[in-house]
Each structure stands twice: as structure tokens, then as C-alpha cells.
């Protein structure tokens, strides 16, 4: 029973990672120190997707499922819980492009917020 709970906890961690991947750049607008963590999270996503690598969270979830007497995920986490649920099955590339666009927009907003001249930050005035 404990391994089954561990498997579900890993599903929650996976969804938490996806939420942070999507929204972490916007968090960095207010908390710029989190930008490095978000850059690492986004970089990891690019490496895993572009390199067709298996995610260690998926491997851990499969191990927990095996220990609980359950079969492994067919096709991994995205195929089991995301594709066809959060976006249509045939739209994976579109979903990846949209996710990447949201992340890049958040980074541009971080840059606009934190990389303007110091005198503008102190006075509260914005350029543009």
C-alpha cells in the first residue's frame, strides 16, 4: 500500500514540476532569485524532450508501481496523465511550442522588470 501512495506522490511531484515549468518565470518577476531554478527546470525539460531521455521521476514512479504489484506506465508520465487530458493527443508539438512561448514571455518580463537601469528602479519610473 505504501508504494502505491509513493507512486501517486510522484505523480503530484510531476504535476508540480510542470506547473513550475509553466509559471516559474512569472514567479521570478517578483522573486528574481528563483530565476536560476526556473532556468534549470526549463533546461531539463528541453534536454529530456529533445534528447528523448527518460525522466528520473517516471523511472521512480515505475519502480514504486512495480513494488506495489502494478504494471509500469505505458509511454511514460506525459502519455499516461497529460496527453489527451491537458491537450489533444495529436497536438503535442503545438503544446510544447505554447509552453515554450509562455516561458520565454515570462523571461522577457523578468528582463524588463529587473534589468532596467538602477535609477529607474529607485524612482519607480518605467521606460517606454
pLDDT digits (tens, 9 = 90+) for 18-46: 999 999 999 999 998 999 999 999 999 99
pLDDT at residue 124 greater than cutoff 80: no
User: What are the Cα distances from residue 28, in Å, to 78, 86, 100, 114, 120?
Assistant: 26, 25, 16, 10, 19
10 Å CB burial of residue 122 (0-12, 13-18, 19+) is exposed
Segments making up each domain of the chain, as ranges: 2-123
Helical ranges in 51-91 per DSSP H: 56-67, 76-77
Average pLDDT over residues 56-70: 92
Q: Which residues pair with 67 in a beta bridge?
A: none
Higher confidence at residue 79 or residue 15?
15
What is the per-residue pLDDT across 81-122, written as a single tens digit (0 to 9) for each? 888 888 888 888 898 899 999 999 999 999 988 877 665 666
**Can you tell me the distance from the alpha carbon of 65 to that of 71, in angstroms, rounded to the nearest whole number?**
6
% the chain with pLDDT above 90: 47
**Can you tell me the distance from the alpha carbon of 32 to that of 116, in angstroms, rounded to the nearest whole number?**
13
Amino acid at each position: 500500500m505504501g508504494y502505491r501512495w509513493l507512486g501517486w506522490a510522484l505523480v503530484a511531484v510531476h504535476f508540480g514540476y510542470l506547473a513550475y515549468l509553466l509559471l516559474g518565470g512569472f514567479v521570478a518577476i517578483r522573486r528574481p532569485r528563483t530565476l536560476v531554478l526556473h532556468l534549470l527546470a526549463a533546461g531539463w525539460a528541453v534536454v529530456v524532450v529533445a534528447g528523448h531521455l527518460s525522466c528520473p521521476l517516471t523511472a521512480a514512479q515505475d519502480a514504486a508501481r512495480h513494488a506495489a504489484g502494478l504494471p509500469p506506465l505505458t509511454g511514460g508520465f506525459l502519455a499516461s496523465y497529460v496527453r489527451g487530458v491537458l491537450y489533444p493527443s495529436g497536438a503535442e508539438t503545438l503544446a510544447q511550442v505554447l509552453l515554450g512561448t509562455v516561458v520565454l514571455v515570462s523571461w522577457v518580463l523578468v528582463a524588463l522588470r529587473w534589468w532596467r537601469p538602477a535609477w529607474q528602479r529607485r524612482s519607480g519610473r518605467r521606460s517606454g
